[in-house]
Structure 1
Amino acid sequence: MPLVRMRNLLASIDPDLSKKIGAVLQLTLLVLLVWYLLGRLSDLGWRDVLANLPTNPLFYAIFLFNFLLFPTSELLIYRRHWRPHAPSDKALFFAFLRKQALNDAVLSYSGEAFLFLWGRRNLTLGAHKIFAIVKDSTLLSAAVSSSATFFIVLIFWYTGGLETLLNGIPTSLPYIAAALTVGILVVPILLVFGKRILQHSRKELRRIAGMHFLRMMLFESLLIAQWSLILPEVPLLTWVGFIAAKLVLTRIPFMPNKELILLGLAVTLVAYIPTPEAALAGLFLANTALSQISNLLVIIVFGLLGLRKTPGAALPDEAPVTPPETTEQAHPAQQEANKS
């Protein structure tokens, strides 16, 4: 049979050769990612970035806090499920840091794919249990942010801010329509079919959803505080409106490089914000550059560390069927059989 032949063919491959092939593939992927991100960074205009870098140290402190907020909250969400089966809390934290870098700098949900593959390689859990928590957490995160986006768009429309966004970025209409559609559908679908789609208890699902909501509120609030430090003359409602536009444009699945899209949004809407264009552009250029550089460093450092490590133990589904305890218990019986 074809499947049996394929399995036998894979089993016959020299382990050393398979390790070399895996290392080459990892290196190729790392080079492609770095090349892609360097290309995006070259579009920012480094002279403008350096000339308009904020001098307030609190700006960078808030950026660092927000950058570490996502992997920290993910650790709190996943730790209860994965910590007994993971090498360490540090290993989990670094995995979530890489997930964030891939989602923000490369492609939405590429981080979730990486996290599942990382779990298969590093956790003593089967693929089904690894996939279950990744899926449930991702769906709940989408439900929380999509619901918030839906209500913000309604408020934006009621206050007239939606018209400003459409005038500034006419091509944003499909994104807004898609965000509204997701916001309208995702929560009812989870409420009706939640027992079939989600695999954890209601109590645990509420805990995960609450963590996602608190993280979103804290992140966006600190982002407004960070911007207000540099441009205090901009009204608070203006920043809230920008956050609304940001949430709308970044809720689309599989959107590439969110940070550069947000930079384009800021430059486009500069005419509607009562502050010098150079100051506003410099603020967002600096923020985007910091984020892109941080994500690039995460991808490079952990990519190189991954190449240096030798492949670990077999995946859970490939592990020996008989655990060590069973082997030790069966050993005396085997001795009696040998005596007889």
Structure 2
Amino acid sequence: MTEPGLTEPALAETVPAALPQTNATSGWRRLGGFVGPAISLAILGAALWQVHALDWNRRIVIPTSPLIWLVLIVNYLSGPLGDWVIFRRLWKIPVEGIFPLVKKMIGNQLLLSYVGEVYFYDWARRHVKIDGSPFGAVKDVAILSAMAGYVMTLIMLVVAWPYFNHYAFGFNKRELYGSIAVMLLIGLAITFFRNRLLSLPRADLLFVLAVHMVRLTINTVLTAVLWALMLPAVPLSSWLMLSTGRLLVTRLPLIPNQEIAFAGALALLGGPVNQTYQMITVIALFITAIHIVVFVAMLLLDLVQRERNA
């Protein structure tokens, strides 16, 4: 039986024309199902390459204090926990949502910047029930994360400004002023075009920005506490200054050699420069090892979950 106004030949022409569109849509959905696994394999490959690139001849002193490991783990999880707080408000994601957020962080640090956002977007599209596409929220959170870094850097510049007038931080005033101008221009552009760039409501945007600011503050303080625990001969106040200086020099966009700038911050403290560099290198090795162990553990957990659901 045909619908009114459609003859048999017209109906025959209409139905086949719709079928290719349906097949194409299904094909794109099937192709999208490979995005998450492909990124996971790429992150795993990057993790294995990190293992290969490690200097196994280096003598590493493993800390025995449980407090050091506690601070290191809390600092490690501060980023994913901050993201979980954000997306808990936006999407009501469950506690298990912390796992893809950890993968997001590992992907950004081991593979490429923002590849973690691609992975998390793919995960959210398949697991979170929200109206519309999750792309807008993921994009807004990433933009506000960068903006929070600029805001925190400008605040730290105000705090540390007297030291720029008395000490060399490894870069000249032209690079410093240019970096300030770039950050201000980016901040003004985001503010001016926020209705086109950002899709979340104003209250949610302010909440996301506040969480990012708190996370950066916690990360800076915990980094200083970790250094103080590993090298207790230097007072915590000096480590707080150094951690602030490291945040500063690594976020200024026009600094050509951030390692030299950080060396200037170390010289400012007048502390054990060589021991500090060795300590930071050891911490980086620990974080790489944690990345690998956590990521492999989550892959095994995914395999077990799929076997149970099969």
Same fold (TM over 0.5): yes
Q: 1:93 aligns with which of 81, 89, 98?
A: 98
Specify which structure has the bigger relative contact order, considering alpha-carbon pairs within 8 angstroms and separated by 6 or more residues.
1
In structure 2, the residue matched to 1:230 is 230
Q: Is the 8 A contact 2:125 2:134 kept in 1?
A: yes
In structure 1, the residue matched to 2:111 is 106
Distance in 2, matches of 1:23 and 1:203, equals 31
Q: Is the 8 A contact 2:105 2:116 kept in 1?
A: yes
Q: 2:50 aligns with which of 37, 42, 59?
A: 37
Distance in 2, matches of 1:212 and 1:105, equals 21
Task: State the 1:243 CA deviation.
Answer: 2.7
In structure 2, the residue matched to 1:258 is none
Is 1:81 matched up with 2:87?
no
Match for 1:218: what amino acid? Answer: I
In structure 1, the residue matched to 2:60 is 49
Task: State the 1:96 CA deviation.
Answer: 0.9
In structure 1, the residue matched to 2:198 is 198
Gaps in structure 1 of 5+ consecutive residues? 253-260, 312-340
- SS of residue in 1 equivalent to 2:170: helix
Distance in 2, matches of 1:7 and 1:162, equals 68
Match for 2:245: what amino acid? Answer: A
Is 1:116 matched up with 2:121?
yes
Identity percentage of aligned residues = 20
In structure 2, the residue matched to 1:286 is 282
In structure 1, the residue matched to 2:298 is 302
Match for 1:38: what amino acid? Answer: V
Match for 2:76: what amino acid? Answer: F
Is 1:70 matched up with 2:76?
no
Match for 2:191: what amino acid? Answer: L
Distance in 1, matches of 2:26 and 2:88, equals 34
- SS of residue in 2 equivalent to 1:49: coil
In structure 2, the residue matched to 1:142 is 146
Distance in 2, matches of 1:309 and 1:263, equals 43
The 1:114/1:163 distance shift into structure 2, 3 A limit, reads farther
Q: Is the 8 A contact 1:98 1:111 kept in 2?
A: yes
Q: Is the 8 A contact 1:66 1:222 kept in 2?
A: yes
Match for 1:72: what amino acid? Answer: L
The 1:110/1:161 distance shift into structure 2, 3 A limit, reads farther
Match for 1:119: what amino acid? Answer: A
In structure 2, the residue matched to 1:314 is none
The 1:271/1:251 distance shift into structure 2, 3 A limit, reads closer
- The superposition leaves residues 65-89 of structure 1 with CA deviations (integer Å, 9 ceiling, x where unpaired) of 1112222221111012222xx5x32
Q: Is the 8 A contact 2:150 2:183 kept in 1?
A: yes
Distance in 1, matches of 2:33 and 2:119, equals 20
Distance in 1, matches of 2:261 and 2:57, equals 19
Q: Is the 8 A contact 1:48 1:282 kept in 2?
A: no
Is 1:244 matched up with 2:235?
no
Distance in 2, matches of 1:218 and 1:23, equals 30
